[in-house]
Amino acid sequence: MANTSGALAFSKRLLWTKWIGHAACAWALLSGINHAYQNFAVVFHANAGDIVVMAIPSLLFWVGAFTALALVSSWGRHMPGLLLLTLAWGFAALFTYLGIYPLMQVVTGRGSLLLFGF
């Protein structure tokens, strides 16, 4: 007998979104570790102000990782919805920009999308 209620399809969709959220969390954590390794390798030749500026991308990736995890975890339901959605869309826009910007520099040859010093 076929399942006509759609409950099985809904549970498969829910499981899929949980795995995507966990994969996004893992990817952001690994990217944050990569940035921390690359940036803090230069720490020995930098002053205190440069160290803080170098830590910002790593921290953004790590906060983005926990935002992705909060979207699919049960503990994320305790966070205010507007805050969680604002963080999610903000990080999505920021990471899309940071991913597309180097490509646009190559395509245009002049880096015309430069905003906020990134």
∠ CA 106-40-100, rounded to 5°: 20
pLDDT digits (tens, 9 = 90+) for 59-101: 888 998 999 889 888 888 888 989 999 999 998 898 888 778 7
Q: Where are the domains of the chain?
A: 7-108
∠ CA 71-67-9, rounded to 5°: 20
Q: pTM for the complete prediction?
A: 0.66
**118 — pLDDT class (breaks 50, 70, 90):** very low
Please give the C-alpha separations between residue 99 and each of 43, 82, 104, 114, in angstroms, as whole numbers.
25, 25, 9, 13
Whether the predicted pLDDT of 57 surpasses 90: no
Contact 84, 76 (CB under 8 A): yes
